[in-house]
């Protein structure tokens, strides 16, 4: 069965960096696009970034463009999110989600990122 497991969350100071990972299993990872979606405390869902299956095409929300970088390792079945220049408004649970059959079909359990001094 499809499993997506995020890791790497934690507390970071404003201006700092953090790297999230999503370990994928139960499907042929290299064939499918992947997303990161976030949810600030008590708020709704916000799409963050998307990477196509081959890793060459990436897309970002304006709110993170130039600060966040999505990448993937199709040999290790992992998806990463490098987050730099973090701000308080980046505090959220970050979910990875897949496009196996159709967009956003499977989601992980989420990783909490708290940006605070």
CA-CA distance, 34 to 30, in Å (whole number)?
Answer: 10
| Contact pattern from residue 93 through residue 112 relative to other proteins, giving x for each residue in contact according to CB under 8 A and a dash for the rest | --x------xxxxxxxxx--
User: What part of residues 33-72 is at the interface with other proteins (CB under 8 A)?
Assistant: 35, 37, 44-47, 50, 59-62
Give the pairing type, strands 111-115 and 10-12. Answer: parallel
Q: To 10 degrees, the CA torsion angle through 13, 21, 112, 83?
A: 30
The CB-of-116 to other proteins minimum distance in angstroms stands at 22
Residue ranges in contact with other proteins by CB under 8 A: 35, 37, 44-47, 50, 59-62, 95, 102-110
């Amino acid at each position: 069965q499809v499993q997506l497991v995020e890791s790497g969350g934690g507390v970071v100071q404003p201006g700092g960096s953090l790297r999230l990972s999503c370990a994928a299993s139960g499907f042929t990872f290299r064939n499918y696009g992947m997303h990161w979606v976030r949810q600030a405390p008590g708020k709704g869902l916000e799409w963050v970034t998307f990477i196509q299956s081959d890793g060459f095409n990436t897309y970002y929300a304006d709110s993170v463009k130039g600060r966040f970088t999505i990448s993937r390792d199709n040999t290790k079945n992992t998806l990463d999110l490098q987050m730099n220049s973090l701000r308080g408004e980046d505090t959220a649970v970050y979910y990875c989600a897949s496009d196996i059959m159709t967009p956003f079909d499977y989601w992980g359990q989420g990783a909490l990122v708290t940006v605070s001094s």
